[in-house]
Amino acid sequence: MAIPKRLIMKNALFIALSVFALTLFSCTKTGRVTMNAMRPAQITLPSSIEHFVLLDRTESDKKSHVDIIESVLTGELPQEDKAAVQRALSTFNAGFQTTPRFTATIASERLKGNNFTPALPQQLDWKQVDELCANYDAQAIIAVELFDTDFIITDGKRKTKRTVGEGEQKREIEVDEWYAKGISNVVFGLRVYDQVNHRIIDEQVFRRTNTFEGAAASKAEAIVKLIGKSEATARLCEAIADDYVHRIAPMPIRISRMFYRKHKKAPAIEIGTRFADVNQWKEARQTWEDAINSADMKRAGFLCYNTAIAYEVFGDLETAIKFAQDAYTIYGNMEARNYVAVLRSRQNDERLLKEQQ
């Protein structure tokens, strides 16, 4: 039986493309380098602020018998809210230990806030702000002033697949499974007081919800496996605090960049890579840069791109942009076009970071 001509051509094309892909893969290999950088804050705070007081302003203002009734209705344990807010303040404090811009202290005082409505209470008196900041040698206060939670539990039964047996006897069967779901809701309000200028810098009310689940062969076991209300609430509070620290404080980050490790038609790429592998980036940059003019167009694009990476490693973003632009405009390296945009974005971040010092 004769093989159709179109099938022969299709197979020939497939083989040709496969050989091309294998050749390309074998000729050009890429790697990644990571480096330290700073991510600017979303909000630029006054340069006069260096140290924060972290304040819990959620002490109950209700009568004791009202507290007892609410605890029975909501299932809250004594001091549960206080513990959750303290977890949030500890997360704030840990975040400020990470950033080089600010430091913080958790206040030992616990002040009254709003326990009646889903709105922030009247702001602190500035005399009180002055006293607190003087006591803790601070210039600003981050106060948690509104806090409310609930935790709704539902349960049910569903079908699930389970693997049983071993070896040739191994198979999947359908079984009943009980589940318990806990829906945790948190309302978390805060204000930032600028003591130096006597003004409110920021105020936010966050509403967060998360669903937790436990599953088991029986309803009782599923409920036992479900996270407790206090822990679910504390985790949401920690997430809110962590997000907020990243909102107001510049943070160190690790960034990753692709570079060309080797090419059989450009030995200088691999030589420079060996220098880079042992953190001799000056020698790597010089090797790649010196080889650009003697390489053909494509390999010159690789070398030019790598040179841009090396300049970024040294923090010279302006020169890195120049070489990345040349890699694209002169030598047609398409990866370099995106890299130029990345470098310009990082330049903008650097300018913003200078304003946030």
Identify the domain containing residue 98 by its residue range. Answer: 51-250
| Residue 285 sits in the same domain as residue 244 | no
Per the CB < 8 A criterion, the answer to whether 234 and 240 are in contact is no
pTM given for the model: 0.78
Residues 193 and 321 in one domain: no
- Give the DSSP H or E segment for 182: strand 171-194
88: CATH: 3.30.160
Furthest-apart CA pair in the chain: how many Å?
99
**Domain presence at residue 334:** yes
Q: What percent of the chain has pLDDT over 90?
A: 71
Boundary residue ending a domain (225, 250, 275) = 250
- Please say which residue of 185, 220, 250 terminates a domain: 250
* Burial of 35: CB neighbours in 10 Å, binned 0-12, 13-18, 19+: middle
Per-residue model confidence (pLDDT) at position 176 = 83
Same domain assignment for residues 119 and 268? no
Residue 231 lies in a domain: yes
Band (167; pLDDT cuts 50, 70, 90): confident
pLDDT tens per residue, range 15-52: 333 333 333 333 459 999 999 999 999 999 999 999 99
Which of 250, 274, 292 is the C-terminal boundary of a domain?
A: 250
Residue 161: predicted pLDDT? 80
**Residue 290, both tokens:** 């010196």
The domain tally of the chain equals 2
Tell me: do 211 and 243 sit in the same domain. Answer: yes
Does residue 276 sit in the same domain as residue 181? no
Q: What is the DSSP string of 94-142?
A: HHHHH-SS-EEEEEEEEEE-B-SSSS--PPPPHHHHHHHHHHTT-SEEE
Closest CA to 191 of 115, 254, 244: 244
What is the tally of helices (H) and strands (E) in the chain? 11, 7
